[in-house]
Amino acid sequence: MAKAAVIGGSGYTGAELLRLLAHHPDIEVVQVTAATNAGATVTDLYPSLGPAYDGVRFEPFSTESLSAGLDLAFVALPHGESQRHASPLIEACAHVVDIGADFRLPAAAYATWYGTGHEAPELLGQFSYGLPELFRDEIRAFPHVANPGCYPTAAILSLAPLLALGLAEPTGIVVDAVSGISGRGRSLTEENLFSEANENVSAYGLLDHRHTAEMEMALSAVAGTAAQVVFTPHVAPMTRGILATCYARPAASGLSSAGLLDHYRDFYSGEPFVRAVADPPPTKATAGANTFLVTPRFDPRTGTIVVVGALDNLVKGASGQAIQNANLLLDLAETTGLTDLGIMP
C-alpha cells in the first residue's frame, strides 16, 4: 500500500482527489494539508466525504511536517507555489504529481507565458508531461509528473490523431472551449458569485491564455514539427465539464467524417479512458468519470476539420488524470481506483 499526501486538499481539485482516492485499493491517504482552511475537518468543508475521512483534519502545510515514509505526494497548489516547495517534497517522497502548472513547460516558455522566471529550473528535468494516452512511456521513465491542465487535456486529445497521422496542418488551429465554474476554483471572487455567473457565458484570456503554450508544446511533439494554436476559453453557468470545439485545416485529400471517425477509433484503440463516438458528446456524459469523449467531422464545403471533445475538468482534467499518472509511477494498472462511467442525469 503506497502512502500518499494531498497537498492543498481543501480546494475542488483536492476534494476530488480525496473522493477518488477513498476507493483506491493501493493508495492510502495519510496526510491532507491546506492553507486558510488548516484546522478544519475534511467534513467541515465537504460533508460528502464524511464516510471516508471522518475526523481527518487539514494540517498546515510545511515541508518539515510531512509524514514520514511517504511514497507519493499529490500537489494541488496555485501556480507558483509548487516550485517553491518542490525540492524538499522530492527529498521526502519518491514520487510527486504536480497538478499545478509549475513543471509543465520549459523554463523559458514558463517565463514568457507566466510573466516571471521559474524558481526551480534545475528540477524541471525530473518531471514528465503527464498525458498518458500520448506520453505513457515517458511518464514511466521519470520519477515525477506534471499533470496537464484541463483545457489542454481536452484540446490535445481532440487534435492529436490529426497531427500524428498527418491529416491536418499543424498551424492555423483554432480551439474554442467552454468550462464549468468549478474551473475557477473555490475562492470567493466576484466572477464566482451566483448572480454574476448564472445565465452568463463569457470569454477570457483572449490571445494570451497560458494554456496555449501547453497545447502547442504537446501538439508539436505529436506532429514532429511546430504547432500553432489560437485558443479562446469561455466559462459557462455549469458546475463541471469542458467542451472543446477545435478547427484545423486538412493536410490530406479524400477526407470524410466517417473516415476520420475510423482514424480516431484506431488511434485510441485500447485506451481505457478515451472513446471516439459518432455523436457530439455532451459534458454531462463525462461527469464524475475519468473519461474523454471525442468526435471528428470533415466539412467538404469549407474544407475544414471540426473536432468536439468533452471531459470533466475536475476528473480527467485534473484529479482523475493525476491518479492515472500515479498508477503509472507506482507500476499499477492504469485504471486502478478510476471509473469511465459518468453520472446521469
Residues noted as catalytic: 150
What single-letter amino acid sits at 36?
T
Inter-residue contact 312 to 179 (CB < 8 Å): no
**C-alpha to C-alpha distances, 5 to 45, 73, 308, nearest whole angstrom:** 18, 5, 35
Place of cell 501547453: 214
Q: H helices within the chain, ranges in order?
A: 12-21, 42-45, 50-53, 82-92, 107-114, 132-141, 150-164, 194-197, 211-223, 257-267, 320-329
Of 148, 78, 81, 146, whose CA–CA distance to 119 is shortest?
81
Enter the C-alpha cell of residue 22. Answer: 477513498
Beta bridge mates, 187: none
